[in-house]
Amino acid sequence: MADTLERVKKIIVDRLGVEESKVTLEASFKEDLGADSLDVVELVMELEDEFDMEISDEDAEKITTVGEVVAYIESHK
């Protein structure tokens, strides 16, 4: 869990150029981290590569916060 969060955090910080301290489990990609729709699509693509998994479009659409991403990855590993 901690490891997953760290890896997710790193990708978000790299991709969105935000302060690491802002990337909390509750943070919303669009509202708190300034991501637009295309950024979210790209994040999902990078997470798929990082964790070697596929996130379906349907599932990706439901993910809005950092915590939800981490939980999704944990439950699909």
Residues lying near other proteins in the complex (CB under 8 A) are found at: 38, 41-42, 45
> At its nearest, how many Å lie between other proteins and the CB of residue 38?
7
- From residue 73, alpha-carbon distances to 11, 34, 60 in Å are 14, 22, 11
> What is d(CA 47, CA 54) in angstroms, rounded to the nearest whole number?
9
36 as an active site residue: the answer is yes
Cβ distance to other proteins smaller for residue 32 or 42: 42
Q: Which of 3, 14, 32, 36 is catalytic?
A: 36
> At its nearest, how many Å lie between other proteins and the CB of residue 41?
8
Exposed / middle / buried, residue 32 (Cβ in 10 Å: 0-12, 13-18, 19+): middle
Residues annotated as catalytic (active site), given as ranges: 36
